Amino acid sequence: MNQKSLSKVQRLKEVLLINLLGEIPTIAFGPRLRILFYRFIFSRIDKSVYIQNGVEFIGASKIELGSDVHIFKGVRIDAKGEDSRITLEKGVALEKDVTIGALDNTCVQIGEGTFIGPGVCIAGPGDITIGKRCLIAAHAGIFANNHNFADPTKYIADQGITRQGIVIGDDCWLGHNVTVLDGVTIGEGSVIGAGAVVNQDIPPYSIAVGVPAKVIKKRGMKELVLNQQNVKE
């Protein structure tokens, strides 16, 4: 059996199991049944994973779920692209209506203990890495691609895209409706104010706001100086 046929068989198993088990409510032991049988279609699914009813998976054989991952109603995770991979590490929580998409040759990795709020969209095809213990508030958008549009004689949809990727460091907090654009690195411990559009790198432990986002201060600098003085004394 060739690779294409194997892929079709895998997708058939995936559709059958998800349609059969995906809508069973919690009160009817839905989460337990899903973990018991989804292990046959996922790349990896560890113990204590909690998946509510009404969650859609596409390309489950390319999705890895660490222990204690929580996924709530309305979430859609799509890893159907060729050579794609989506990994949710231990303790990741996806609130209602989160969308994660990985197109061809795309890796999306969300680090341990990170919380993704309702209605967040995380989309390739550029690689996206979100660090540990991050807080991503409701309706944020993380988009690792840009459309080319230089030629006004052609439709924008026909001019291709660029894909540089996005990195969000550990312990970052992105406020409500923040947008992160392709090619950006947000340094560890940074806070991005609600509604900001991040189109350039943000240094570690920064507080940034606005459209486009600009750093307005550094976190904890005064406290850091005081602590160093106390050590010397």
Segments making up each domain of the chain, as ranges:
3-212
pLDDT at 223: 45
pLDDT averaged over every residue in the chain: 90
DSSP state of 83: T
Q: For 7-28, what is the mean pLDDT?
A: 84
Q: For 28-45, what is the mean pLDDT?
A: 90
The least confident of 41-45, 169-173, 190-194 is: 41-45
pLDDT at 180: 98
Give the angle subtended at the CA of 78 by the CAs of 75 and 82, to the nearest 5°.
Answer: 170
Band the pLDDT of 10: cuts 50, 70, 90.
confident
Q: What are 208-229's pLDDT values in tens digits?
A: 999 999 999 999 865 444 444 4
Paired sense of beta strands 214-218 and 206-209, if any: antiparallel
The H or E element that residue 120 is part of is none
pTM summary value? 0.87
pLDDT at 218: 93
pLDDT at 27: 82
Structure tokens at 78: 């799509």
pLDDT at 231: 40
Q: Is a pLDDT exceeding 50 seen at residue 4?
A: yes
Say which residue, 10 or 80, is predicted with more confidence: 80
Q: Based on the residue annotation, tell me whether 139 is a catalytic residue of this protein.
A: no
pLDDT at 225: 42
Compute the distance between CA of residue 209 and CA of residue 17 in angstroms, rounded to an integer: 44
pLDDT at 103: 87
pLDDT at 224: 40
Q: For 173-177, what is the mean pLDDT?
A: 98
Neighbours of 26 (CB within 10 A): 12
Q: Is a pLDDT exceeding 60 seen at residue 1?
A: no
Q: For 75-98, what is the mean pLDDT?
A: 95
Hey, what CATH topology would domain 3-212 get?
UDP N-Acetylglucosamine Acyltransferase; domain 1 (2.160.10)
Compute the distance between CA of residue 182 and CA of residue 130 in angstroms, rounded to an integer: 14
Taking the alpha carbons at both ends of the chain, their separation in whole angstroms is 73
Beta strand residue intervals within 72-188, DSSP E: 76-78, 85-88, 93-94, 99-101, 107-110, 115-116, 121-123, 128-130, 135-136, 141-143, 146-147, 161-162, 166-168, 173-174, 179-180, 185-186
pLDDT at 159: 93
Q: What are 108-121's pLDDT values in tens digits?
A: 999 999 999 999 99
- Decide: helix, strand or coil at residue 11: helix
pLDDT at 233: 44
Question: From edge to edge, which strands make up the β-sheet containing 85-88?
Answer: 44-45, 63-65, 85-88, 107-110, 128-130, 166-168, 185-186
Q: Is a pLDDT exceeding 60 seen at residue 130?
A: yes
